Each structure stands twice: as structure tokens, then as C-alpha cells.
Amino acid sequence: MSAQDRSDNTSAKADVQQGTVKVSFQPSGRQFNVVQSDTLFEIAAEAGVTVDTVCGGNGGCGKCKVQFEADPPAACSLDYMHLSGAEIGAGYRLSCQVTANKDMVVRVPESGDKATVQMLHHGVERDVELQPNIKKVFIPYQDVRSHEHEADWDRIRMKMPRKLRPVHIPLALLRQLPALSRLPEGLTLALAGRDVIGLEPGNTAHRQFGVAFDIGSTTIVGFLIDLSDGSEVTSASAVNRQSVYGDDVIGRLSRSQRNPEGLEKLHGMLIGQINTILAELSRSGDAGLDEIYEVTVVGNMAMHHFLLKLDSTFLGLAPYAPVIRESITVTASELGLSLGENIPVFVLPNIAGFVGSDTVAVMLAAETTISNSYRMAIDVGTNGEMALSNRRRIIACSAPAGPALEGARIKMGMRAAEGAIDHVKIDEDVKITVIGEVPPVGICGSALIDIVAELVNCGLMHHSGAFKRHDELEKEVNSALRERLIEAEKRKDTYFILARAVDTGAENDIIFSQADVRECQLAKGAIRAGTMMLIDAMGITDDDLEEVCLAGAFGNFIDAQNALRAGLTPQVGLGKIRPVGNAAGVGAKLALVSVVERRRAIRIAQKTEHIQLSGSPEFQKAFTHAMQFPN
């Protein structure tokens, strides 16, 4: 039988006299008696044997290949188009092009069962099976033509693999169906779960993208993902312009409370920036905005409310009740995003209080909830969010760290930008590194932790956080360091010279004062007290922790040893501190490429117990204690 014959035979299969044959699938060994006129692809789909596909079994994608153990049918032109000569020689054929006209034994490639995606992002590495919520299915004209007496919607639906058969189509798309389903170039349906969200002329099954957003108080990041293979095409980010209303979320919340215009403004800024990022992703990733079929979003509770334009009056007042905890799917048009109107935006679930979906996403990405071992995740920010979990139990809280570690309230503090001292080592003298290798202009968060840890370590500071007076200094402290400690009449004005202008070529000396130490202590004390509360609530000790994940940019830049020395984190072995970078973003991506991961995120959020720290006397006690530096 020639290639031409095969292909003719397939399209004319409705006329073939029906009988039954036996088809076995390896490696499972499952065997089925089937009618002769079905393709192997259809048989596998009906039987629940997963064969890979993008186009829905119409010869469009070449992914549904299977290997004949013996006696393969003649290869058809589509086999030659999609498979290598070696594959054809080894008996591989496209299962959608083979009609089961005799008994057959075929092997389904393992990758067919699980297309996996590797998620790798600053310390988080996850292999996940590609199972996006979005699917596209191409239906060629000849398949449409043969059932013209049926309703269009039935006719189209019945040509789709049973597992993908949609149950809902919006009225606006239904109105386009009669014309689009009769085009000679065929029709591609875009599905979100069992809902049709797009109808496109021709075969566009290979073009399907999604965007995962991590919306932080400081930075908004979008990742463009190719949903046909799960790969990250490109990413784009922007500084959250809401910062003009305050670096911390409290300032922004107060602006939106009982103030619909303020809320509208904050919401509008966010949507505007998201649209800018979408446009940038579309441009640099060479994907049309109309080829983006789904968006996932994580963010803290305030960003969540601003994004959805939810009244945040009560989120900003004790006891900080959010409007909704669970995940919610809205449409791009409800939010005003410049995407198709039916495009779903899946907003991951929150926990409670200020603990938002970003914390859920961190737990999902860093896999802190899958084993019997206790793992902690800490996201250091104006509000430090932290979660302690194992397979059985998850508890979380947020602690008001304030903006010190982001550079605010520190005399010479600044963001981690060019000119910021980002690391400090105190040995015989002070060694600094500066972002951009330029003369230093200020100090960023990671260096603050270094400084306080090193000052205590080298003997210039008491464990209480007070600079020692010169007459208290041990003799081991050398003169180079002594000279940098400048005592003032008012204790809070005592300071340490971190970098002399004369040495660095900067305009000013960079100094770190007693008041700055206090700010750092308040910040790190709040974080540490939060972790103490969680450990206490779980009924364990620091020693029981298997891992402490530090999330966010801060977690990546911080020196783990100094974080331990400064008492920012639970006191575990250095090897147990794991920076996981933008794990929240990874979580958003996981929810985009896999509905299984999405369901896991939902379960994590449902299962998490929230501990309310504000107003708790135990927290106040822990806080007071945690302000000290450990011995």
C-alpha cells in the first residue's frame, strides 16, 4: 500500500466495512478489541492510553508517534514530514494516521506518557509533567464536512478526543461557529479545561502561550511560557509604580481604604504595568497577544486585592480580614488586560491575614510540604511571610518587619541598585563589595545583615546591639577598626565608618549608626520572632528543621552565614539554609504548565493554618528576645 493509498484510506474510513481487530499497547500490555475503522490515536484516547498530542490527532503536530514491534504499515507522507528516516526504519508511525485494520502491537514512547518540563530558577529545580489547563485542537475540513446534518457545535465536539471534549462555549464564540467551521483550511479550538476560549481559522495548534506573573510590592515580573512544551520563552519585569504611594503595603492600603478612587488608581497602575509587560513579552518572545491563552498570578494579599480591585478597607484594619482566600479565575476583560476577552486569569489562593498566594507559591516551588521533614520558607520583606510545614501540617504567619531591610529608615540605606554596598566582611579591616563596581553611595539589605553580624563577631558590638564604648573594646580589636567607631554624646549618634570617601572616591563616607542598628534589629527581630512562633506552634525546635528556604531577591543575595549569625533565621546548620530566589514566580509558572501543580497549590492553601501574630503577647515576648544577637 503506497503512502497515497494510506492517506486516502484514512479519510474515507467511514465507508469501510466495520469489523473488530485486537490492538495491544506496550509497555502496559493493555489489549482492546476495537472496530476496524478507528485510528490508533482514537483507540488510545478512548482507552485512556496517553499518547502525546498538540494538534488533537490530525497529523498536524507529529507528536503522537508509536512504534510497531513488527510489521509496520507503509509510512505515509505525514510520517515522512514529522519523523526521521531512522525513526521510520525503526517502525515509528504517527498513531493518528494508522487505521487499525488488522491485529497490532504498538509501543507508546514513554515521553508520550509524560512530557516533562524542567523548572530551573535561582536554586529551585523541579521536573513537572506538562499538563497545562490550555489545550488547542485542530479539526480539518474533511472531518467537519461529513456530518452536516448535525448541529455545528455537536459536529465539532464529536471530532475531538473524548478527554478534551468541551462542555461550554461562550455565546460570542458560538455565534462565529457556523462560518468558522466551514472554512476549507479547517478550524482550531483553544480550550481552557473544558471551556472553549477561542476559535481560529486553520491549524494554529502549535502556537499556544501563557504568562505567569509574580506581583510584588516592589517588582512585577512576567514570564512568557510556551505551553506546547513548557519552556520559558522570555521574561520581563518592572518596578511597581505603586511605590509612589509608599514603599510598604500599609501606606498603599490606607490610600485605598474607604476610598474607591484610591483603589481605582492603585488597580489601574497595576493593570497598566501588567499590560506593558505583556506587550514587552509579546514583542521579545515573538508571540502575538492573541496567542496568549492563560495568565496565572501570585502576589501578596495587598497586591491580590489591588489587582482584582477588591475593597481593601478591612484588610488594612485589625483583624485584617481579606475579601477572599481561595483561588479565583476571572477573565482578562474583567480586569482590563489587553488579551482576548475570554482568556482566563487564574489567581492562586491566599492563606489569611497578609499571607498571600506568593507564600503558597513558594511552598509549591520549594516543595516544603511533601516529606515528613519539617521545612521552613521565609520571604523577607516589609511584611516577612513565613511558613513551616511537612507532609502533614502547614502553619504560616506574617511579621511586620518594616522596610529597613529594603533600605528604608536606614540613614544611608538604599535599594540593591548600582552604588549599593551589597556585602561587607570585617576582618583585619573592612572589605566591601559594591553593585556595579562604582564608588559606594549607600547600603542595601544584604549588606545590613553582614554589617550587624560582622560587628558583633569582631567584637565592636554587644549581643544586645549596642556599640561598645572604646573603653569596653577587647584588646584583640585592632586600631584600624577602632578608628572607624566614632563615639557620640548621644548614644544613638555613635556610628561606624564603613567606607571612607577618601578610600573609595565616593562623595561621602558611608556610615552605619547606632540608630541604624536598632532599625535592623527591629526588622530581623520581627522575622525571627515569627519563625519562633511557628516552631513553637508546631511543637518542635530549630534542630528539627531539615531546611530553611530564603525566598525573594533578598534570599539570593544574603550571606547565609551572616543571616545565621545575625539571628535572622532559625539557628540551623549552614548547609540547611537554601536560597530559593523568586520561588513565588516559579510557583506561578508551575500552576501555568500543570493543572496538577495548580491543584496542589489549592490544597496547600486550604491546609495551611494561619497564626495571627498582631496583638499576641507571646509574639511580643519572642520579638523582644529575637532583637538580641545570638551568642
**What residues make contact with a copy of itself under the rule CB under 8 A?**
148-155, 171-172, 174-179, 182, 308-311, 313-314, 319-326, 328, 330, 334, 350, 352-353, 612
Cβ atoms 585, 214 nearer than 8 A: yes
Smallest distance from a copy of itself to CB 263, Å:
9
CB of 368 to a copy of itself, least distance (A): 23
End-to-end alpha carbon distance in the chain: 83
Shortest separation between residue 363's beta carbon and a copy of itself, angstroms:
19
β-bridge mates for residue 240, sequence order: none
- What are the angstrom distances between the C-alpha of 335 and each of 340, 525, 571? 11, 39, 44
> In this complex, which beta carbon is closest to a copy of itself, that of residue 83 or of residue 192?
192
Nearer to a copy of itself, 111 or 176 (CB): 176
185/326 with CB nearer a copy of itself: 326
- Grid cell in block for residue 271: 493593570
Nearest to 291 by CA among 211, 193, 362: 211
Q: Which is nearer to a copy of itself, 4 or 146 (CB)?
A: 146
CA 322, 323, 324, 329 torsion-angle sign: negative
Cβ proximity to a copy of itself: between 249 and 447 the closer is: 249
Helical (H) or strand (E) element with 399: strand 394-400
Closest to a copy of itself by CB, 218 or 612:
612
Shortest Å distance, C-beta 264 to a copy of itself: 11
Which is nearer to a copy of itself, 299 or 440 (by Cβ)? 299
CB of residue 550 to a copy of itself, shortest distance in Å = 28
Nearer to a copy of itself, 301 or 593 (CB): 301
- Alpha-carbon 471 to chain mean position: 52
Q: Shortest gap between Cβ of 212 and a copy of itself (angstroms)?
A: 20
Q: How far is the CB of 386 from a copy of itself (least distance, A)?
A: 19
CA distances to 310, 325, 360, 382, 485 from 321, in Å: 12, 10, 18, 19, 47
Helices (H), 12-129: 40-47, 77-82, 85-89, 110-113
Lay out the sheet containing 420-426: strands in order across: 430-434, 420-426, 442-443
Output the smallest distance, CB 8 to a copy of itself, in A.
25
Which helix (H) or strand (E) covers residue 389, if one does? strand 383-389
Give CA–CA dist 381/250, Å, rounded.
13
